[in-house]
Amino acid sequence: MSYLLGMDVGTSSTRAIIVSEDGRLVASAATEYPLSTPHPGWAEQSPEDWWRATVTSVRQAISQSGVQPAQIAGVGLSGQMHGSVFLDASNQVIRPAILWCDQRTAAQCEWITRTVGRDNLVRITANPVLTGFTAPKIIWLRDNEPDAFARVRKVLLPKDYIRFRLTGAFATEVSDASGTSLLDVPARKWSQEIMDAIGLPMSWLPDVYESPVVSAKISAEAAAATGLLEGTPVVGGGGDQAAGAVGNGIVEPGIVSSTIGTSGVVFAFAERPSTDPLLRTHTFCHAVPGKWHVMGVVLSAGGSLRWLRDTLGYTGYDQINAKAAEAPVGCEGLVFLPYLTGERTPYPDPYARGVFFGLSLRHDLRHMIRAVMEGVAYAHRDSFEILDAMGVETSTVRASGGGARSPLWRKIMADVTGKEHVTINVDEGPAYGAALLAGVGTGIYPDVPAACHAAITVESRVVPDPDAHATYSDFYKVYQALYPAVKDVYALDATMVERHIKT
């Protein structure tokens, strides 16, 4: 029997899984690493940490599985999107990678938009340029670290840096490249027009592939480090959301995923690159060749609950879930805005921050924990309402990510959105989708939908409670009113932070 290796270079860890050709999970290993915030609103990581975690996780997965390296037919890569890895002429990392949740590039986003032209930018990339995206990070380097900028010869996304370390090849694929503000999304290729307009050489960019296409093969050096067999094919893979969507079977109309990881994502399949008229969602290339997807993003979803967990000194989530279950639906008016690292959908605001609103003497820790979970659900409802207005079919919602492991949070999500949420037989997200893409690229499956149909089945369903949904719909009105009420204060606070916090 043949096996497939899927990897996900995440924000908190790198996961490696081994899947049999019939889609059965055989082994899973993850290795964590830190995230650095050297200045308010910044987020960085060392690419070398990703590589060390890759080596450790792959070796552990192979050992755990008992599979021989020669039985691994292909490797699929996934990872956190938008991050920028800058390499010099010797292919050495110049500085720490700037991550997807970093908010330092507001001025550079404005410059790119003016320089390219907003309408032109949206026509080519199908999206506005946002602070988390890759292009403004490159321009930030030019503006703020000119010596480092002068050394740049390649710019890679996180998973594609790992591809380089595994294969020696500079390559990416269309789904991850869609989040750079440098890809012609309708045409599924790099935009020479944008690169020329902002003064960047095309040679800095890696070759771009469709997600299931073999992009390179494991090198002798990487084989020695990881235990993989030299020459094993590595497919394009996918950005974490596109690969996660494949891992959830979001490869045909009507099936939507609702993911609570560090960030939160509502992801819908699209036959063509349609955009929200108000540009509140993202339209990217899907990992399914010739298809696209529409995506709403909450920057701090599970990240908000993790922040609260760590602040309270808990080591796990069981205590937190138990306490949240003791609080009533709607938390007696306590509402949380989960904007700890700025926000994207529906408010692309790098200055937005978290808020507890409605605190009273009646509220205690139980209410605060549940309010965080409900606030994330309200934020997801924002995305669902935009998709509904766009006419995007959302007949089935598949819950995924760490938040989906909580029965309470799944129920809150179903009750807040008013949409049935289901879980499936696998819970490995992007790594699993990357493995299925490797199966397509190596001929085990004929195409991506066939791979999903062969491997994925629905296991449980959560039907919305009408009374709870009615209560949440009332408090959702409060949630919706809060951001417009404090938007100007966010900008004022950001100014004060810049003035008074020095690093």
Q: What is the pLDDT of residue 261?
A: 87
Separation CA 312–CA 29 (nearest Å): 27
Separation CA 231–CA 107 (nearest Å): 44
Instruction: Tell how far CA 259 is from the center of its chain.
Output: 9
The answer to whether 178 and 284 have CB atoms below 8 angstroms apart is yes
HEC profile of 322-343: HHHHCCCCCHHHCEEECCECEE
Pick the closest to residue 238 from 86, 58, 430, 448 (CA basis): 430
15 forms beta bridges with: 8, 30
What does the pLDDT profile of the chain (503 residues) look like in tens digits?
Answer: 899 999 999 999 999 999 999 999 999 999 999 999 999 889 999 999 999 999 999 999 999 999 999 999 999 999 999 999 999 999 999 999 999 999 899 999 999 999 999 999 999 999 999 999 999 999 999 999 999 999 999 999 999 999 999 999 999 999 999 999 999 999 999 999 999 999 999 999 999 999 999 999 999 999 999 999 999 999 999 999 899 999 999 999 999 999 998 899 999 999 999 889 999 999 999 999 999 999 999 999 999 999 999 999 998 899 999 999 999 999 999 999 999 999 989 998 989 999 999 999 999 999 999 999 999 999 999 999 999 999 888 888 999 888 999 999 999 999 999 999 999 998 888 999 999 999 999 999 999 999 999 999 999 999 999 999 999 999 999 999 999 999 999 999 989 988 887 65
- The CA-based angle 302-176-394, given to 5 degrees, is 60
Separation CA 488–CA 483 (nearest Å): 9
Separation CA 458–CA 433 (nearest Å): 16
| pTM for this predicted structure | 0.88
Q: Report CA-CA distances (Å) from 211 to 234, 389, 479.
A: 10, 29, 38
Annotation says 240 is catalytic: yes
Pick the closest to residue 210 from 246, 248, 164, 165 (CA basis): 246
HEC profile of 184-251: ECCCCEECHHHHHHHCCCHHHCCEEECCCCEEEECCHHHHHHHCCCCCCEEECCEEHHHHHHHHHCCC
Measured in residues, the chain has a length of 503
Tokens at 480, concatenated: 């919706």
Q: Which residues, at least 6 apart from 423, have a Cβ–Cβ distance to it below 8 Å?
A: 398, 399, 400, 404, 410, 458, 459, 460
Question: What is the three-class DSSP state of 279?
Answer: coil
Structural domains of the chain, with CATH:
3-236 (3.30.420.40), 249-424+457-487 (3.30.420.40)
The answer to whether 181 and 129 have CB atoms below 8 angstroms apart is yes
Instruction: Tell how far CA 300 is from the center of its chain.
Output: 11
Type of residue numbered 457: T
> HSE (CB half, 13 Å, CA atoms) of 472?
29
Phi then psi for residue 199, to 5 deg, are: 75, 35
Instruction: For residue 105, give the DSSP letter.
Output: T
Cβ atoms within 10 Å of 289's Cβ, excluding its own: 17
293 forms beta bridges with: 269, 284
Tokens at 365, concatenated: 């820790």
Instruction: For residue 185, give the DSSP letter.
Output: T
Tokens at 463, concatenated: 């039907």
Question: What is the three-class DSSP state of 356?
Answer: strand
Tokens at 279, concatenated: 């540009």
Catalytic residue among 102, 240, 276, 427: 240
Tokens at 320, concatenated: 């937190």
Give the torsion sign (CA, 130, 132, 133, 137). positive
Q: Which residues, at least 6 apart from 402, have a Cβ–Cβ distance to it below 8 Å?
A: 260, 261, 302
